[in-house]
Structure 1
Amino acid sequence: MALSTLDLFSIGIGPSSSHTVGPMRAARRFTHALEQEGTLEAVARVKGELFGSLSATGVGHGSDMALILGLAGHDPETIDPEAAAPVVSACVADRVLPLAGMREIPFDRPKDLILHMRRSLPGHPNGMRLTAFDADGGVLTTRDYYSVGGGFVVTAEELEAELDQTREIARHGEEPEPHPFSTGAELVAQCEIHGKSIADVMRANEAARGDLAEVEAKVLEIWDVMQECVHNGLHRTEPILPGGLKVKRRAPGLYAQLQQKGVDEEGKDPMWAMEWVNLFALAVNEENASFGRIVTAPTNGAAGIIPAVLHYVDRFVLGPDASEQQRRATVLDFLFTAAAIGILYKRNASISGAEVGCQGEVGSACSMAAGALCAVLGGTPLQVENAAEIGIEHNLGLTCDPVGGLVQVPCIERNAIASVKAINAARLALVGDGDHRVTLDQAIQTMRETGADMKSKYKETSRGGLAVNVIEC
């Protein structure tokens, strides 16, 4: 049940952590299971089935492509995004699947990859089933997997075991960590008892599980990928995003405008910094929509918010005169704090748009970014908790209604708006003393209950909201 910073932030490809990264990981994990069982050489055919939300928006999110790539042995963290589409095209055209990247088997796309548009598996809206057959058509093995948000993948058995563990923790408490916490109140209490910041509480818990230096190195690598993602988004030359909606890229044009205005504008335009925050978020999410390399933060659909706010810190809070040591320390504090807040959502509600709507994705990311910004601006743990609460409170009820099943409209612009909202939430919290009427735990509970009450058509199925009221042309 213990979660790491690296569980909340991981490197993958767009456009969706639940619908792209998760299925790719599940398919690759399936091939590993075949290897461990000693049945890989006997496999003559593999069938993949997508259920629920994965089937409803699977094509737009690249879920079908992801399954093929995973079965072919590719990992979302290491695959070259430019190579993904050609690999899939070759498999479909040649009717051959390089299973686990080791041996070729026949592959018939319409027959071997099925989207059950109106069926769901019992454990979670994002369900998939993978089955391996021998040369006589007999079943060698079949497994159900669930993509539960943020790229997390579990089997049906693991999902039930996790629920049992959650129930056990509720009865007897969390397994011992230096600073255990399952709620926002417990997190703040750990800080107050031990005189630590939220980031330092996370550091102590990370150190208890392994090498803290390795974790910090990986977190800094994640920041490098976030920066690379922004850079790539600013310099893309294709004017239209893929997918058929004909959505125009905005990040390269806005970047050119801001450069043309020049640094002198910084002292004249009171919204100058917010223009850049919008730009950073747009750049990330346009990369995500283009199947580019991305950091789930905590999901791909909300991947622009935390990088945008952290870029704001780097450019406008630290500024050009900050030392590399200062930048490094600030980045680590920011991302450790954001992860601690994200763990609260993962444990007590959900970060899956298919489960609770976009409040679980953009809402959680806005909350994480708000709390993290408040922390690096000098906020106390109580003020950080307040900032995180403000960040989610004003995203409660947010639906997941992607037009055409693509992570573009309203997702890209929604990340920009939430990034600015996170900055405002942090600033509001900083002018207070941490005392506030609604707690973060109450807001998270409300998010969970609201998601349970929300009709399924508003939860990443593209059957309600903007998805049916916007003409796809």
Structure 2
Amino acid sequence: MMLSAFDIFKIGIGPSSSHTVGPMRAALLFARSLEQRGLLARVARLRVDLFGSLGATGHGHATDQGVILGLFGDAPDTVRPETVQPRLEALRRTGTLMLLGTTPIAFDRVRDIVFRGEESLPEHPNAMRFTAFATDDAVLAEGSYFSVGGGFVVEGGQAVAQTAAVAVPHPFSTGDELMAQCRENGLSVAALVLRNECAWRPEAEVRAGLLRIWGVMQQCVQRGFGIDNPLAAQALPGPLRMRRRAGELHRELLAQAGAADPLAAMDWVNAFAMAVNEENAAGGRVVTAPTNGAAGVVPAVMHYYQRFVPNASDAGIVDFLLTAAAIGMLYKTNASISGAEVGCQGEVGVACSMAAGALAAVLGGTPAQVENAAEIGMEHNLGLTCDPVGGMVQIPCVERNAMGAVKAINAARMALRGDGSHYVSLDAVIRTMKQTGEDMKSTYKETSLGGLAVNVVEC
């Protein structure tokens, strides 16, 4: 089944697509399954077991919070971030959870959500098991779910459909197939993906939806800069007490406007990326692109396009997102976008590849140059580990997004200086990324058991 651009770019909340958004979706699916089976009124209590990476770093990634929100009946794209903490406090105080907002059950966050980081299920390192009990402690229902990156969820071995299966006019599953489709039909990558998207919804709706995605990205940057967001002056949540820097950097850049600094654009890109990922780390609203941990790369490069490229337009923004989505689909289909599965090369590396190809496209690149830029973006992120300090999406994640964005811009510029021919294909680098992830020790795949996570002392 072909993925949609709206599968790759999904509106959610921080701090993690795999550890917060995915568990929220899984909990909502399980709760709805109880309702559909007529069991909701019989539920007295629930237990949620979190395995593998979810168990190991779930505290720092707010996995338990995501689960609770899903049980409340919240979805990642509609939950209001400002309501989360008051409702969690009410749950702590009363010990009562309103399942799907209608059915009260006894619930204790510490007792009923069990972190089993030392145990893994064979299907995927991000595993959850939900168990519903009746008043006599008899098991009413069980369900296993796997959060496979980018907010995607697999239930009991079956993929949960993100977009209804339809026949698209230009199907592709590899980079070579995508390039062949572009050549044979005389289409850019964006135009080809747009035609596919129109198999699901009218073109006007596609464009409006993508501009809504862009609007959420812009709002996230503004909030990260502290504009109409007093919380941006606070340290990020958690024991690290990490200072937010994007707002201060933004103010400095505004004060220095007009100064003769040939690298000022790089400072702006850093500010854009850090604003997004600091907002993500604070639990704010972001767009998975393709994950929350890598959510700052694509918006930062899009802001670079808007601010520094002459004649930038909304049409260019739509083409950027369509092109980036095509590249993201290839990684999702043929490898992984889960840090728990392949390390951060599958998150920031993929985001860098997506942004590089998309920027090359809106700067006038041919499909071959787009593929080249995307390949360069990943080639120089191969082996990137996922080793969050304290299990939190803060160090090195915030700065890593800024580095990924700058690298994407350079990759696009390198590709545009060539004619599109290159030795390493995008398909080859995707295969290599997948193989590298398989060879990588589990300690470097979102477990916080290796790398910076054990060499930086938590304050």
Q: Structures share a fold, TM > 0.5?
A: yes
Report the Cα distance in structure 2 between the residues aligned to 1:155 and 1:237, rounded to whole angstroms.
37
Equivalent residue, structure 1, for 2:17:
17
Q: CA deviation at 1:238?
A: 2.5
2:337 alignment partner, SS class: coil
Matched, 1:412 2:398: yes
Q: CA deviation at 1:175?
A: 8.6
Contact kept, 8 Å, 2:274 with 2:398, in 1: the verdict is: yes
Equivalent residue, structure 1, for 2:168:
177
Contact kept, 8 Å, 1:309 with 1:423, in 2: the verdict is: yes
- Could you state the TM-score of these two structures normalised by the residue count of structure 2? 0.96
Report the Cα distance in structure 1 between the residues aligned to 2:302 and 2:450, rounded to whole angstroms.
33
Report the Cα distance in structure 2 between the residues aligned to 1:327 and 1:447, rounded to whole angstroms.
33
Equivalent residue, structure 2, for 1:73:
73
Equivalent residue, structure 2, for 1:242:
237
1:205 to 175, 192, 196: 196
Equivalent residue, structure 1, for 2:29:
29
Report the Cα distance in structure 2 between the residues aligned to 1:82 and 1:302, rounded to whole angstroms.
23
Q: CA deviation at 1:122?
A: 1.8
Matched, 1:393 2:385: no
2:340 alignment partner, SS class: helix
2:333 to 338, 343, 347: 347
2:208 to 199, 209, 217: 217
1:273 to 258, 265, 279: 265
Contact kept, 8 Å, 1:386 with 1:434, in 2: the verdict is: yes
1:304 to 288, 296, 310: 296
Q: CA deviation at 1:79?
A: 1.1
Report the Cα distance in structure 2 between the residues aligned to 1:191 and 1:328, rounded to whole angstroms.
23
Report the Cα distance in structure 1 between the residues aligned to 2:115 and 2:458, rounded to whole angstroms.
21
Equivalent residue, structure 1, for 2:412:
426
2:313 alignment partner, SS class: helix
Q: CA deviation at 1:176?
A: 5.2
CA separation of 1:78 and 1:175: change in aligned 2, threshold 3 A: closer
Contact kept, 8 Å, 1:6 with 1:215, in 2: the verdict is: no
Give runs of ≥4 in structure 1 deviating > 4 Å: none
Number of matched residues? 452
Equivalent residue, structure 2, for 1:113:
113
Report the Cα distance in structure 1 between the residues aligned to 2:41 and 2:432, rounded to whole angstroms.
50
Q: CA deviation at 1:112?
A: 1.0
1:281-306 deviations in Å (ceiling 9; x for gaps): 00000000000000000000000000
Contact kept, 8 Å, 2:128 with 2:146, in 1: the verdict is: yes
Larger deviation, residues 392-401 vs 208-217: 208-217
Q: CA deviation at 1:104?
A: 1.0
Report the Cα distance in structure 1 between the residues aligned to 2:331 and 2:275, rounded to whole angstroms.
26
Q: CA deviation at 1:452?
A: 0.4
Equivalent residue, structure 2, for 1:166:
none
Q: CA deviation at 1:126?
A: 0.5
* TM alignment of 1:66-105, pairs within 5 A: 66-105=66-105
Matched to 2:248, the amino acid is G
Matched, 1:253 2:228: no
1:342 alignment partner, SS class: helix
1:335-391 deviations in Å (ceiling 9; x for gaps): 000000000000000000000000000000000000000000000000000000000
2:129 alignment partner, SS class: strand
1:140 alignment partner, SS class: strand
Contact kept, 8 Å, 2:324 with 2:358, in 1: the verdict is: yes
1:143 alignment partner, SS class: strand
Report the Cα distance in structure 2 between the residues aligned to 1:215 and 1:306, rounded to whole angstroms.
19
Matched to 2:326, the amino acid is A
Report the Cα distance in structure 2 between the residues aligned to 1:237 and 1:51, rounded to whole angstroms.
33
Matched to 2:265, the amino acid is A
Report the Cα distance in structure 2 between the residues aligned to 1:175 and 1:135, rounded to whole angstroms.
44
1:209 alignment partner, SS class: coil
Matched to 1:243, the amino acid is G
Report the Cα distance in structure 1 between the residues aligned to 2:185 and 2:35, rounded to whole angstroms.
47
1:104-137 deviations in Å (ceiling 9; x for gaps): 1111223211111211122111000111111111
Equivalent residue, structure 1, for 2:454:
468
Matched to 1:301, the amino acid is G
Matched to 1:307, the amino acid is P
1:119-174 deviations in Å (ceiling 9; x for gaps): 11221110001111111111111000011100011102314x99xxxxxxxxxxx9
Matched to 2:408, the amino acid is A
Contact kept, 8 Å, 2:223 with 2:232, in 1: the verdict is: no
**Structure 1: unaligned runs, 5 residues or longer:** 163-173
Matched to 2:92, the amino acid is V
Q: Give aligned-pair identity as a percent.
A: 61
Q: CA deviation at 1:75?
A: 1.3
Contact kept, 8 Å, 1:69 with 1:87, in 2: the verdict is: no
Report the Cα distance in structure 2 between the residues aligned to 1:145 and 1:317, rounded to whole angstroms.
44
Matched, 1:191 2:177: no
2:309 alignment partner, SS class: helix
1:399 alignment partner, SS class: coil
CA RMSD for the aligned pairs? 1.4
1:198-246 deviations in Å (ceiling 9; x for gaps): 0011011111233232222111101000000000000154241111102
Q: CA deviation at 1:408?
A: 0.4
Larger deviation, residues 149-158 vs 354-363: 149-158
Contact kept, 8 Å, 1:123 with 1:156, in 2: the verdict is: no
1:130 alignment partner, SS class: strand
2:372 alignment partner, SS class: helix
Contact kept, 8 Å, 2:294 with 2:348, in 1: the verdict is: yes
Equivalent residue, structure 2, for 1:440:
426
Report the Cα distance in structure 2 between the residues aligned to 1:65 and 1:418, rounded to whole angstroms.
28
Report the Cα distance in structure 1 between the residues aligned to 2:108 and 2:180, rounded to whole angstroms.
57
Report the Cα distance in structure 1 between the residues aligned to 2:198 and 2:406, rounded to whole angstroms.
33
CA separation of 1:311 and 1:304: change in aligned 2, threshold 3 A: same
Matched to 1:178, the amino acid is P
Report the Cα distance in structure 2 between the residues aligned to 1:237 and 1:196, rounded to whole angstroms.
43
Equivalent residue, structure 1, for 2:284:
292
Matched, 1:454 2:440: yes
1:46 alignment partner, SS class: strand
Matched, 1:338 2:324: yes
Matched to 1:389, the amino acid is E
Contact kept, 8 Å, 1:19 with 1:62, in 2: the verdict is: yes
Contact kept, 8 Å, 2:232 with 2:244, in 1: the verdict is: no
